Amino acid sequence: MSDNTQQSWYALEITAEPEAAEALEFAFNELDALGTEINHLRRKATDTVTVAGYFADQLDDAVVDASLADSLAIYGFTPDVIHSKEWRRYGQTDWLYDWKKHWKPTVIGNFIVSPPWEEVSDAEKHIIWIEPNMAFGTGTHDTTQLCLRAIEKYFRPEQTFFDVGTGTGILAIGAARIKAAAGVRDRAITGCDTDEGSIDIARENTVLNEVGDMIDLYVGSMNDDSPAADFVCANLTIDVILPLLPLLIEKTKSFLLLSGILQEQETQIVDALAGHGYTAPEIEHSGEWISVVVLKS
């Protein structure tokens, strides 16, 4: 979302059994929420949890219910894990206040992802500053953390990098941080996203992190004319990844990183890669999610 002058937001707050929290967050993601928040402040393990999804407009209840049912089914739950649903309207100030109250710096391996109002200083780590325009790509989600860990492990400063579905730009910025720390400030990083608002946000974040001169961003997806890169990352969903897989493989010189894939979809992606001749991908798990790394070279 590129219009930062919006004066109000709508939050769908769902109270549910705690084990269903990730499924609800996944549903909000599928509904293109601008952000999500999970209240983990439970007094007992048996207490319910509240998951909120933030939207520019209030959605149709039938659309919401269908997405919730589908997402819960993927995770093996039925809708009766939900205790209540309620829409609330928030002013812009309320939105930012909630973010500042709940979002703290997140340490992920050798990275620290932080909102800009926090004071963070650690010469031994790569600090990524992210404005709270969207929740997806703030470093709190398992898939983002899996990707950053893989980037830390495999990406090298001299390599080129392509981030397909860049969102807030966090992964591209992470790659730029690795380059900058090694004294390499070439323009060898590309990020794309089909959502124009996401690209606007990503550009703002590259400037905030002082790496705007190192990253090219554009609205769209990877295509036949896209340049090949040493390291290609696609943190999407499996229904988007599978049709793109032949192109992702073609455009990868050394490392292909895939995430946004649920654990129960592991067989699907492993079989798809085997169909292209890659039978031993590296798979890491976090929560309900996995990342997959293919070493081409």
Give the single-character DSSP code of 190.
E
Q: What share of the chain is helix, strand, coil (3-state, %, to 5)?
A: 35, 30, 35
At residue 1, the pLDDT reads 35
Q: Taking residues 11-18, what's their average pLDDT?
A: 92
pLDDT exceeds cutoff 50 at 165: yes
Confidence check: pLDDT of 95 > 70? no
Spatial contact of 197 and 205, defined as CB atoms under 8 Å apart: no
Q: Answer yes or no: do 260 and 114 share one domain.
A: yes
Q: Which pLDDT value is given to residue 2? A: 38
Residue 104 confidence (pLDDT): 77
How far is 23 from 51, CA to CA, in rounded Å? 10
Q: How far apart are alpha carbons 60 and 57 in whole angstroms?
A: 10
Q: What is the CA radius of gyration of the chain?
A: 19
DSSP 8-state code for residue 135: S
CA distances from 58 to 6, 83, 89, 92 (A): 14, 20, 9, 15
The whole-number pLDDT of residue 231 equals 98
Of 68, 99, 130, the position where a domain reaches its end is 99
Q: Is the pLDDT of residue 96 over 80?
A: no
Q: Are 23 and 74 in contact (CB under 8 A)?
A: yes
Q: Which residue has the higher pLDDT, 181 or 116?
A: 181
Residue 26 has pLDDT above 70, yes or no: yes
* Residues 161, 53 within the same domain: no
| Arithmetic mean of pLDDT, 96-118 | 79
More reliable by pLDDT, 252 or 143: 252
If phi over 0 gives left and psi between -120 and 50 gives alpha, with beta otherwise, what is residue 169? left
As for how many domains the chain has, the answer is 2
> pLDDT-based confidence at 36, cuts 50/70/90?
confident
Q: Distance (Å, rounded) from C-alpha 246 to C-alpha 259?
A: 16
9-13, 50-54, 247-251: which has the highest mean pLDDT? 247-251
Instruction: Please provide the DSSP assignment of 275-286 as one string.
Output: TTT----EEEEE
- 65 domain residue, yes or no: yes
pLDDT confidence of residue 105: 85
Residues 54, 132: one domain?
Answer: no
Say if 2 falls within a structural domain: no
Q: In this prediction, what percent of the chain has a pLDDT beyond 90?
A: 61
Cα distance between residue 274 and residue 277, in whole Å: 5
Boundary residue ending a domain (99, 134, 167): 99
Tell me, yes or no, whether 290 and 185 share the same domain: yes
Strands 161-164 and 106-108: unpaired
Confidence band, pLDDT 50/70/90 cuts, at residue 16: very high
H/E element holding 196? helix 196-208
**pTM of the entire predicted model:** 0.76
Q: Which of 271-279's residues contact partners 24+ apart within 8 Å by CB, and which partners?
A: 272/242, 272/245, 273/245, 276/245, 276/246, 276/249, 278/249
The CA distance from 194 to 131, in Å, is: 20
Nearest to 281 by CA among 265, 270, 289: 270
CATH number of the domain to which 220 belongs? 3.40.50.150
pLDDT band at 66 (very low <50, low <70, confident <90, very high): very high
Q: Which of 55-69, 113-127, 164-178, 218-232 bottoms out in mean pLDDT, i.e. has the lowest?
A: 113-127
Are residues 172 and 64 part of one domain? no
The pLDDT of residue 54: 84
Query: What's the pLDDT band for 284 if we cut at 50, 70, 90?
Result: very high
Final residue of a domain: which of 83, 99, 115? 99
Mean pLDDT value across the chain: 88
Q: Which domain holds residue 93?
A: 8-99
Kindly tell me the burial class for residue 228, based on how many C-beta atoms sit within 10 Å of its own C-beta (0-12, 13-18, 19 or more). exposed
In angstroms, the Cα distances linking 66 to 11, 62, 73 are 18, 6, 11
> At residue 18, does pLDDT exceed 90?
no
